[in-house]
Structure formats: C-alpha cells, structure tokens
Amino acid sequence: MNVAEQPTPAGGHLSSVEAAVLSLRERRRRDTEIEVSSAALDLFEKNGVAATTIADIARAAGISDRTFFRYYSSKEETVLDFQQWFRTPTREWLTTGITDGPVLEQLEAVCVGVLRQLDGPNRDAANRLRRIRALMKTEPSLRAVSAMLDDERAYSLADQIVESFHGRVSLTEARLTAEIVGVGLRTACQMWSARLDNGDDATLEGTYQAVRSTIHSLTAPSAL
C-alpha cells in the first residue's frame, strides 16, 4: 500500500466548479474500481490468480475488456489499488493543506486520516484489504506486482511533493518521505491483519500510529 496522486492543475489550485466536477468524476471512478476489485478478488480466491483472466474479471464486473484497461494495466493491479482511498486526501493536502511543518509528519497525518476512515465508514474496504493480504501469502505474482507498484507510486508522489512545495523540499527528501510512509503503511497493514487473525483487537489507525512512533524513534538523532 502506498499513497500516490494524480497531477494537479498548473498553479496547484482548483476552482469550486473544477473541484465539484473532479469530485463527481472521482466518485464514479472509485465506484467502478471497487466493483472491478471486488470481482477480481472473488475470482482470485476461488480460482487462483493464474487461472483468472482479464476477460473473466471484466465479465464479473459488468464491463468490457476495453473499459477494464482504462483503469488497470494488469489483472494483479485490480486488488492492489488501495491508492484510490488516498487520492483525494493527498490532492487536498498538496493543493490547500500544506503547512510549515516537516513534510514527513504532514504526509503521515494524511495517512492517519485515511486509515481512520477505513476503520469506520469505509470498513468494507478494510475487510477487503485483509482478504488481499491473506491472498498475497499464497500468490507470488501479487507480491511481485505490489512491489513494482509501490516503487512507481513512491517516485510519482515524490515528484508531486517537490512541485507542490515549490523547492522547499528536495527530491531526495521527498523520495525518502514517500518511501518511509510506504514502508510504515505496509508494515502496519501486515501487523493489523496478523493481530486480527490471532483474535486480538486492532485498528489500522492504531497500528499505524504504533509503527509511526517506532520509525520516528529509529530516525531520531542519538545523543553521543
């Protein structure tokens, strides 16, 4: 899991009309993404990734093969696209929510907000994430594609951070920020899923906050 965002318009700000149109378009896109992802996950669990075709997924989701490729470039991506939940919050941060605080802490705060939603109103998405984590344990192709997508999204997000911060954040800082947050999110998801499997109470937000604290303790300057 990683955060990635679509490019913002020149100047970095949206008018109220543009924002409304974009919001409607994104809701429709996300609805379709959820339908395709849910159909793919059901088929992967039933038949395995190798035995499931793009045509199978498109048919189950009620779309054409051509429409499928408007959203995904491979069947594996259909269940690895949790960036859909980060898309709008990340854009809002990069366009209107940037503060003077450390960029890492700002991006972490965006993630906390998204995970809080997944623990609450978007619990169905969190449950789907748990199923995906279980599936990845037995499907090497999903793990390979996940690693590739995480890397691509980290590069993309770093570029957007540099552009939005207008030179106040270097590319190295932005890339490290994206990578650190990505590692934290993946670790939190794994720990959260494992705890639930063991019958323990756990939330995505709480688990990520614990991981976040550990990351900060590891990166804090030591007293020599």
Query: 3 or 13: whose pLDDT is higher?
Result: 3
Tokens standing for 102? 């450390």
- Say which CATH class 16-218 falls into: mainly alpha
The structure's pTM equals: 0.82
Helix axes 204-219, 103-119, angle to 10 degrees: 160
Query: Which residues in 96-108 are b (16+ Cβ under 10 Å) and which e?
Result: eebeeeebbebbb
**Do 177 and 107 touch, CB atoms closer than 8 A?**
yes
- Per-residue pLDDT, 62: 95
Tens digit of each residue's pLDDT (9 = 90 or more) over 77-136: 999 987 778 988 999 999 999 999 999 999 999 999 999 999 999 899 899 999 999 999
Phi, psi of 30 (to 5 degrees): -65, -40
29 has a pLDDT exceeding 90: no
Task: Report the range out of 2-6, 78-82, 200-204 with the highest average pLDDT.
Answer: 200-204
- Per-residue pLDDT, 13: 47
pLDDT band, residue 5 (cuts 50/70/90): very low
Please provide the average confidence, as pLDDT, over all residues in the chain.
Answer: 89
- Per-residue pLDDT, 79: 94
Tens digit of each residue's pLDDT (9 = 90 or more) over 38-67: 999 999 999 999 999 999 999 999 999 999
- Per-residue pLDDT, 85: 86
11 has a pLDDT exceeding 60: no
15 has a pLDDT exceeding 60: no
Query: 210 or 21: whose pLDDT is higher?
Result: 210
- Per-residue pLDDT, 16: 56
103's CB contacts (< 8 A; 6+ apart) are 161, 165, 169, 173, 174, 177
